[in-house]
Amino acid sequence: MALRYSALSLWLLLPAVVHAALPNAHDDVAATRIRGQARSLAQVAPCRASTLGGYTSSVGFNRKGFNLHWKVTGRQSIDIAVEAKSGSGVARGWFAIGWSKSGLMYPADAVIMNFKSNDNDATPPVGTYALSKRDDSGVKPTTRFAITDTEFTSNSSAGVLVRFTRSKFDGIVPVNYNGPNQIIFAYAPYGSQEVQGHGGKKGWILVDFSCKPGSASASGSPPPSSPSKAPSATQTPSPSKSPKSPAKSPAKSPPTSPPKSPKSPPKSPPPASPSPPTGVMNPVSTPCKSTSGSSSSSCKASTLAGYTGYVDLNGKGLHLHWKVTSDTSVALAVEAKAGSGAEKGWFSVGWSGSGSMVPADAVIGNVKGLLPVASYAVSGYSASKIAVTSRFAIGQPELLTSTSGVTMKFGRSKADGEGIAAINYKGKNKIIWAYSGDGARTINDHKNNYGATTVDFSCKPAPTKC
């Protein structure tokens, strides 16, 4: 568990640039500088059907796999996912999105992700920041706007996926849940998670959260035709680059439905259910929602006897199973299936309260030469800062090994000590997880094999959706 997080600075070193407002047409090199007044004339970016479970729409920040996904869940609530695919040029370093009134990099509210710091900094991997200046002194953690249900997943083969929810009318630039938002973005130019400027790796895009896949704007959005020639000359929108399949399918549905109403229903489902392409990271993305707990926590019916639900932590087979056994106790199992990448070396889950790796309570299994499953205190970012602890205890620890993988089982109870982060036995818990970066059974650097997610122990799997 040797990852270091940090607050990002130097986000605002250069003036903002605007990228062509077409899906996947945001060229990081050929960007055009324009003034804030001209930005207000920009065309709303056409949206595509999301390839992630649980989201409806998406736009691309660049052509290589740096994407924004969303689903409006209420009059004042939206689920957001920021996807930095492997090969996008973004996944290896810090990246950020923000809300700006003018499209400029400040003043703005920003969510900054995937950064690290020195051993004394316990900054979580996803944070809210206020941008007020064009240097590092103008990038500060803030509480003026809130995000909830944050999930962070890093996968060396798929990339990085960050999920969060905005559900308040807060910040200096409140979210327009039913219309256009000027979204700014930036990322590390050399793939670094350390503090550095973004150089030219930045831009902005006009996103309409009411946009339906296949249309450039919906209700609440400025019509794309009225801004006439100014945006066209700057952004050169090309019809050939517009999404073909979503655009054609809605066009066929209206003409056929009046005269042939019995036949139109079979034609309408295909556009609404795109299948995720191969290689798209989809960790903890099952659309199964709780039927009696929080709707933000996804779970499936457990495949292990004696447990109720589970979530896939890394999207590859590292599963967390649970069963609440009383108001103050829960039985847990962490299953590292063969092929998950976690089954060969040590693996762990933990509680920190904030989603940061330090300080934290952790249960680590499959460690060579030590107890097969034990409780640890994590006080720093090196192996020497991870030690067996008695500040919380686990019940009936067990490690099972087979050809199908490795599973560690244990129980946690309020009576055995809550550690530094008390468990919510009836609701949401911020769970951190990690496993060896090279399959070692001695505790070492987890490299990119780590993450944080919110798990609701009250989640009841819905068989019809799971």
Domain of 192, CATH number, reads 2.60.40
Whether the CA torsion 173, 149, 341, 357 is positive or negative: it is positive
For residues 457 and 427, the answer to whether their CB atoms sit within 8 Å is yes
Identify the domain boundary among 227, 244, 261.
244
pLDDT, residue 81, reads 96
Please check whether residues 75 and 219 belong to one and the same domain. yes
With respect to residue 275, please indicate whether it lies within any of the assigned structural domains: no
- Count of CB atoms within 10 A of residue 395's CB? 15
Please check whether residues 224 and 128 belong to one and the same domain. yes
- What is the secondary structure of 266-331 as a DSSP string? HHSHHHH-PPPPTT---TT----B-SSS-TT-B-EE-SSTT--EEEESSSSSEEEEEEEEETTEEE
Please check whether residues 309 and 194 belong to one and the same domain. no
Q: Which residue range is the domain that position 335 belongs to?
A: 300-456
Give the residue among 119, 107, 101, 169 at the shortest CA–CA distance from 6: 119
Structure tokens at 87: 């090969």
Whether the CA torsion 183, 184, 188, 190 is positive or negative: it is positive
* E strand or H helix at 249: helix 244-256
Identify the domain boundary among 244, 276, 309.
244
Please check whether residues 234 and 305 belong to one and the same domain. no
Give the residue among 161, 165, 129 at the shortest CA–CA distance from 148: 165
User: What residue ranges in 132-191 does DSSP mark as E strands?
Assistant: 139-141, 148-155, 159-166, 180-187
* E strand or H helix at 113: strand 108-113
Please check whether residues 88 and 224 belong to one and the same domain. yes
Structure tokens at 398: 């067990």
Give the residue among 268, 208, 238, 278 at the shortest CA–CA distance from 59: 208
With respect to residue 282, please indicate whether it lies within any of the assigned structural domains: no
With respect to residue 289, please indicate whether it lies within any of the assigned structural domains: no
Please check whether residues 230 and 334 belong to one and the same domain. no
With respect to residue 444, please indicate whether it lies within any of the assigned structural domains: yes
pTM equals 0.47
CA distance linking residue 3 with residue 445, whole number of Å: 7
Please check whether residues 105 and 240 belong to one and the same domain. yes
Please check whether residues 135 and 222 belong to one and the same domain. yes
Give the residue among 292, 118, 289 at the shortest CA–CA distance from 195: 118
Q: How far is CA 187 from CA 92, 114, 406, 437, in A?
A: 10, 10, 37, 24
* Rg (alpha carbons) of the chain, rounded to whole number: 23
Which CATH number do you get for residue 411? 2.60.40.1210
Please check whether residues 345 and 452 belong to one and the same domain. yes
Please check whether residues 238 and 306 belong to one and the same domain. no
Domain count for the chain = 2
**pLDDT tens profile 158-203:** 788 999 999 888 898 889 888 888 899 988 875 555 555 565 678 8
Identify the domain boundary among 200, 219, 244.
244
pLDDT, residue 338, reads 93
* E strand or H helix at 77: strand 77-85
Bridge partners of 300?
310
With respect to residue 441, please indicate whether it lies within any of the assigned structural domains: yes
* E strand or H helix at 235: helix 229-235
pLDDT, residue 313, reads 93
Please check whether residues 415 and 319 belong to one and the same domain. yes
With respect to residue 7, please indicate whether it lies within any of the assigned structural domains: no
For residues 125 and 152, the answer to whether their CB atoms sit within 8 Å is yes
CA distance linking residue 397 with residue 158, whole number of Å: 32
pLDDT, residue 115, reads 62
pLDDT, residue 97, reads 93
pLDDT, residue 190, reads 59
Structure tokens at 135: 């240097």
48 SS3 class: strand
248 SS3 class: helix
Please check whether residues 312 and 228 belong to one and the same domain. no
Residue partners of 275: CB distance under 8 A and separation at least 6: none
444 SS3 class: coil
With respect to residue 26, please indicate whether it lies within any of the assigned structural domains: no
Which residue ranges in the chain fall short of pLDDT 70?
1-42, 115-123, 156, 190-200, 214-297, 462-466
CA distance linking residue 324 with residue 305, whole number of Å: 14
pLDDT, residue 197, reads 58
pLDDT, residue 200, reads 67
Give first-to-last CA distance, the chain, whole Å.
32
pLDDT, residue 179, reads 84
